Amino acid sequence: MLKGKLVDPVIKALVNNNAIDRFEDNMMPFKRLMAYYKCAIMEVETKFKVLNQEFSLEYDRNPIETIKTRLKSTDSIVKKLAKRDLPLTVESIEKNLNDIAGVRVICSFPEDIYVLADCLLQQDDIKLIQVKDYIKNPKPNGYRSLHLIVEIPIFLKDTKKNMRVEVQLRTIAMDFWASLDHKLSYKKDIPEEEEELLRQELLECAQISADLDKRMEKIKNRIVNNKI
Measured from the CB of residue 139, what is the shortest distance to ligand GTP in angstroms? 5
Measured from the CB of residue 69, what is the shortest distance to Mg ion in angstroms? 14
Residue with Cβ nearer Mg ion (99 or 217): 99
44's CB contacts (< 8 A; 6+ apart) are 101, 103, 120, 150, 152, 165, 167
Residue with Cβ nearer Mg ion (145 or 209): 145
Residue with Cβ nearer Mg ion (99 or 111): 99
Among 74, 25, 167, residue whose Cα is nearest residue 82: 74
Positions in the binding site for ligand GTP (CB under 6 A): 99, 132, 139, 141, 143, 147, 178, 181-182
Size of the site for Mg ion (CB under 5 A): 1
Measured from the CB of residue 97, what is the shortest distance to ligand GTP in angstroms? 8
Among 163, 131, 200, 210, residue whose Cα is nearest residue 38: 163
Residue with Cβ nearer ligand GTP (34 or 55): 34
Q: Which does 182 bind (CB under 5 to 8 A by kind): Mg ion, ligand GTP, none?
A: ligand GTP
Residue with Cβ nearer ligand GTP (36 or 177): 177
CB 71, CB 99: distance < 8 Å: no
> Rounded to the nearest 10 degrees, what angle do helices 110-122 and 28-59 cross at?
120
Measured from the CB of residue 191, what is the shortest distance to Mg ion in angstroms? 28
Q: What is the CA radius of gyration of the chain?
A: 20
76-105 footprint of Mg ion as x/- string (CB under 5 A): -----------------------x------
Measured from the CB of residue 102, what is the shortest distance to Mg ion in angstroms? 7
Rounded Cα distance, 219 and 223, in Å: 6
Measured from the CB of residue 99, what is the shortest distance to Mg ion in angstroms? 4
Look up residue 101 and give its DSSP letter. Answer: E
Q: What is the DSSP string of 160-214?
A: EEEEEEEEEEEEHHHHHHHHHHHHHHH---S-HHHHHHHHHHHHHHHHHHHHHHH
Residue with Cβ nearer ligand GTP (55 or 147): 147
Distance of CA 218 to the CA centre of its chain: 27
Q: Residue with the closest Cβ to Mg ion? A: 99
Rounded Cα distance, 191 and 39, in Å: 43
Query: Which residues contact Mg ion (rule: CB under 5 A)?
Result: 99
